[in-house]
């Protein structure tokens, strides 16, 4: 058995744990030959790969990043290196020349959408859901998310002590793209006073009112805002547009927009922290190490069954497979009837609405 593996899109903690689990399980159970493509789909386009043996994936379980490298612009259907032409035939040729039985592709929504298209071209693919954003359809949890929530929660805890000391309004901006999962879970875990998520447009007057009321009693306020949050009748804050990226919009900066708006409305001092890529780097939490290892080991089982064109997923703590098609080009946002929203509201957290 000959299997390729790659990591696509933005990195997150736990990628190496998946690479290790897939490779070790296939070598132990099938004596498979495993080939790691470098820098995501770019390696598949440029035919850059290396053989992964047992030793080369030993000792990487707790390492952040990806030993294979990744790329968040390399799309074989719209390749930036060829005037955005479709080079999927090149990819198919490289795949066939290497006599691969299949490919394990570890990635988020963009990567799964590309994988679905390549599967239709005749490449056997099994997807593994990664992203700090937790926004992939059909799975309760992506690996990398728990680590990001841990980092954001630690930030809330730290902002609370310094905010309390100075009677300030502290605004923390998290990542998460168009979904509010990181901000919401970190707010519950850290006990934030206000959480602003893309799914619930905020009213700056309500946010200001909460801050003013808290200034009278508790004196400080912690606001957690997801980068995709937007005011009612307003737009998301876009940091930059990267035209040749599968997802061209880079969000960021909403915390400073809110700071400016609040400064016009309240007397308290305001400080902003933008967490950024700290949420993506570093060692995975035990939960993410276990989830990534479960995903990788299960993906290897699915390879052995030759069940292609699927993504492994976690549903009610059971590992299942779902068609790539049901994941491609979709985003899982926080449902408005989510128990997480209800829980946050029940302990007095405001959504600024």
- By the criterion CB under 6 A, which residues form the site for ligand F6P? 10, 72, 108, 131-133, 175-177, 227, 250-251, 280
Q: How far is the CB of 51 from ligand F6P (least distance, A)?
A: 29
Closer by beta carbon to ligand F6P, 75 or else 221:
75
Q: Which is nearer to ligand F6P, 124 or 147 (CB)?
A: 147
- Closer Cβ to ligand F6P, 33 or 133, answer by number: 133
CB nearer ligand F6P, residue 9 or residue 76: 9
CB 212, min distance to ligand F6P, A: 31
Nearest of 267, 163, 182, 263 to residue 221 by alpha carbon: 163
Cβ atoms of 324 and 115 within 8 Å: the answer is yes
Cα 139–chain centre separation: 13
Catalytic choice (11, 86, 97, 133)? 133
Q: Least Å distance between CB 245 and ligand F6P? A: 7
CB of 333 to ligand F6P, least distance (A): 13
Q: With respect to ligand F6P, which residue has the nearer C-beta, 100 or 136? A: 136
Q: At what angle do helices 145-166 and 181-190 cross, to 10 degrees?
A: 50
Residue nearest to ligand F6P (CB): 175
Least distance in Å: CB of 280 to ligand F6P? 5
**DSSP 8-class letter at 29:** H
Could you write out the DSSP letters of every residue in 44-104? HHHT-EEEE-TGGGTT-TT--S-TT---SS--TTSBGGGTTB--HHHHHHHHHHTT-SEEE
Cβ count within 10 A of residue 267: 9
Q: How far apart are CA 65 and CA 16, in angstroms?
A: 7
Query: Is 133 in the active site?
Result: yes
Cβ partners under 8 Å of residue 234, min gap 6: 201
Q: Is 190 helix (H, G, I), strand (E, B) or coil?
A: helix
Q: Would you please indicate which residues are annotated as catalytic (active-site) residues?
A: 133
């Amino acid at each position: 058995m000959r299997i390729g593996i790659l990591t696509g899109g933005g990195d997150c903690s736990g990628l190496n744990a998946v690479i290790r689990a897939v490779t070790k399980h296939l070598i132990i159970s099938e004596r498979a030959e495993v080939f790691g493509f470098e820098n995501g789909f770019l390696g598949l386009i440029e035919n850059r790969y290396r053989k992964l043996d047992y030793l080369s994936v030993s000792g990487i379980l707790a390492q952040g990043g990806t030993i294979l490298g990744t790329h968040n612009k390399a799309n074989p259907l719209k390749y930036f290196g060829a005037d955005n032409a479709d080079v999927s035939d090149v990819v198919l040729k490289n795949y066939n020349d290497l006599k691969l039985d299949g490919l394990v592709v570890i990635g988020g929504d963009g990567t799964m959408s590309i994988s679905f298209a390549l599967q239709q071209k005749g490449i056997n693919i099994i997807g593994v859901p990664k992203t700090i954003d937790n926004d992939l359809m059909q799975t309760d949890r992506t690996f990398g998310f728990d680590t990001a929530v841990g980092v954001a929660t630690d930030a809330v805890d730290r902002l609370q002590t310094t905010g309390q000391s100075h009677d300030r309004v502290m605004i923390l901006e998290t990542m998460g793209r168009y979904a509010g999962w990181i901000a919401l879970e970190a707010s519950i875990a850290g006990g934030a006073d206000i959480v602003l998520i893309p799914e619930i447009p905020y009213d700056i007057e309500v946010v200001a009112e909460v801050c003013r009321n808290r200034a009278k009693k508790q004196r400080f306020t912690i606001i957690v805002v997801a980068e995709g949050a937007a005011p009612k009748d307003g737009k998301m804050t876009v940091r930059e547009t990267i035209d040749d990226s599968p997802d061209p919009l880079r969000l960021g900066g909403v915390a400073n927009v809110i700071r400016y708006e609040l400064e016009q409305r309240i007397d308290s001092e305001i400080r902003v922290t933008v967490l950024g890529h700290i949420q993506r780097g570093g060692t995975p939490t035990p939960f993410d190490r276990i989830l990534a290892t479960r995903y990788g080991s299960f993906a290897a089982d699915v390879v052995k069954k030759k069940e292609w064109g699927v993504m492994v997923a976690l549903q009610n703590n059971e590992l299942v497979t779902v068609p790539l098609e049901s994941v491609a080009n979709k985003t899982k946002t926080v449902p408005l009837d989510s128990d997480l929203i209800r829980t946050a509201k029940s302990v007095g957290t405001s959504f600024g609405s």
